Amino acid sequence: MDPLLGTFIVLLVVIDPIGLAPLFYALARHQTRAQQRRTAVQSVALATGMLLIFFFIGDALLRVLGIGMPAFRIAGGALLFLLAIDMVFARQSGLRSTTAREQEEAVSRSGIAVFPLAFPLIAGPGSLTTVLLMASTWGSRQEFIGMLVVLLAVLLLALLSLLAAPYLMRLLGETGANVVSRLLGLILAALAVQYILDGVTMSLTGQS
């Protein structure tokens, strides 16, 4: 598989634009349409900033912490596999969700753009891990630009999904969104296992 296509699929599945729609719809149900649009733009902008920071400094961060790429690929694959399990069973865990009290606090503060939308729903552990993996694998300038375009394209899809959340909910409903999420979860599970196998292979062959 082409590396850029693989990266696009992983990011698309991890950020899960379709799965964001019912969560956003529930959190922003008390807002006007104008407020919902502003919240959607703010949350995606904040998440983009967080992910870009990890994209640009991710490789240096791993070196500073003394973490080798084999270890990180194995750990990242394991984390993404856990996320895939949650998606397949259509359940929300601490990887990309919040507790009921956290949601109530976010709504009462009118701060859902920052928390929980930007983090952890969009720029959560899974997407941050994926971006760190991206940052450590690009070699040429063309690959760098390609991965940056892929990241921004998925975030644009997330923004469009949030803006169209009321229409998507009428079209798909929560059950339909869960079906899509389950199918994407199966793909993510396979890709996560591949990350783990790549990490083990790199470790056995002495690659750093």
Tokens 């971006």 belong to which residue? Answer: 131
Q: Where are the domains of the chain?
A: 3-203
* pLDDT at 91 > cutoff 90: no
The DSSP annotation for 3-20 comes to HHHHHHHHHHHHH-HHHH
- CA 71 to CA 159: how far, in whole Å? 33
CA 42, distance to chain mean position in Å, is: 17
**Per-residue pLDDT, 106:** 54
Q: Among residues of the chain, what percentage have pLDDT more than 70?
A: 88
Q: Tens digit of pLDDT for each residue in 64-77?
A: 888 888 888 898 88
CA 189, distance to chain mean position in Å, is: 14
3-state SS class at 163: helix
176-201 average pLDDT score = 85
**Per-residue pLDDT, 93:** 60
**Per-residue pLDDT, 94:** 55
- CA 112 to CA 117: how far, in whole Å? 6
Q: Which residue has the higher pLDDT, 47 or 195?
A: 47
pLDDT-derived band at 83 (thresholds 50, 70, 90) equals confident
User: Which amino acid, one-letter code, is at 70?
Assistant: P
Q: Which token pair is 146?
A: 């390609």
How far, CA to CA in Å, does 36 sit from each of 45, 119, 128, 166, 172?
14, 17, 25, 10, 19
Q: Which residue has the higher pLDDT, 115 or 156?
A: 156
**Per-residue pLDDT, 65:** 85
The per-residue b/e assignment along 122-141, b for 16 or more CB within 10 angstroms, e otherwise, is bbbbbbbbbbbbbbbebeee
Q: Tens digit of pLDDT for each residue in 164-178?
A: 999 988 888 878 887
Mean pLDDT of the chain: 84
**Per-residue pLDDT, 98:** 56
